[in-house]
Amino acid sequence: MDQQAPTPRILVFPFPIQGNLNCMLKLAELLCLSNLHVTFLNSHHNHARLLRFTDIQNRFRRYPGFRFETITDGLPDDHPRSGSRFMELFDAMSTVTKPAFEESLTRLVVEERESPVTSLIVDGVIDFALDAAVKVGIKVIFARPISPCYLWTLHCLPQLVEAGELPLQDGKIS
């Protein structure tokens, strides 16, 4: 009896803030359109928000190889996750999410029989993902999900400096 090889799966893991989440969801959808199997690892907090305020289940239902997994972002449920307390998310990810990620990744790679994770696309600021991926023997692609506006700004900065518009003189735009 021929046994089929398990279907390879890509794990997509964004940093748990809205802009990064949106970009990585679009990447996951493009991968699905290429008939790849994708698991999207989202924070519990952001996943609950997606379920409450979007039609995310319907959007991805048409991709049979797609599924969501969730993980803690390390912050308590009542944390505001606002800009002024943004660095608390980095600290929580390093101390709480890191061991939870290592455990989840091991489960998704080693214990999953039908469609194990074979590669990881992770937000470039989640540095602990590399060590975890090396431990379980999968390849990692670091991605920096950024908006088109931010990308255009980076592209234009040299011309703004050359034109003398930057740096700002006395904090004023001329």
- 165 and 84, same domain (yes or no): no
Give the separation between CA 34 and CA 66, rounded to whole angstroms.
12
Average pLDDT of every residue of the chain: 91
Mean pLDDT of 145-161: 86
For the record, the structure tokens of 57 come out as: 């289940």
Single pTM value for the model: 0.85
Give the domain extent around 130: 9-143
40, 108 contact by CB (below 8 A): no
Segment among 1-5, 6-10, 54-58, 73-77 with least mean pLDDT = 1-5
Domain count along the chain = 2
- Residue 142: enclosing H or E segment and its boundaries? strand 139-143
Cα–Cα dist 172/156, whole Å: 19
Q: Sheet containing 9-13: which strands, arranged edge to edge?
A: 66-71, 37-43, 9-13, 117-123, 139-143
Give the domain CATH number at 131: 3.40.50.2000
- Considering the domain boundaries, does residue 20 fall inside one? yes
Bridge-based pairing of strands 37-43 and 139-143 is: unpaired
Mean pLDDT of the 121-127 span: 95
- Shared domain for 91 and 167, answered yes or no, is no
**Residue 132 in domain:** yes
Same domain, 45 and 86: yes
Q: List, as one string, the DSSP characters of 20-80.
A: HHHHHHHHHHHHHHTT-EEEEEEEHHHHHHHHHHS-HHHHHHT-TTEEEEEE--SS-TT--
Both tokens of 74, joined, read 């390390």
Calculate mean pLDDT across residues 77-96.
91
Please indicate, yes or no, whether residues 61 and 137 belong to a single structural domain of this protein.
yes
Q: Clarify whether residues 31 and 62 are in a common domain.
A: yes
Write down the pLDDT at residue 142: 96
4 domain residue, yes or no: no
pLDDT tier at 2, thresholds 50, 70, 90: low
Residue 2 lies in a domain: no
Task: Clarify whether residues 81 and 128 are in a common domain.
Answer: yes
**In terms of pLDDT, which residue wins out, 13 or 6?**
13
With respect to residue 114, please indicate whether it lies within any of the assigned structural domains. Answer: yes
Contact 126, 144 (CB under 8 A): no
What is the mean pLDDT of the segment spanning 24-51? 96
The DSSP symbol for 17 reads: S
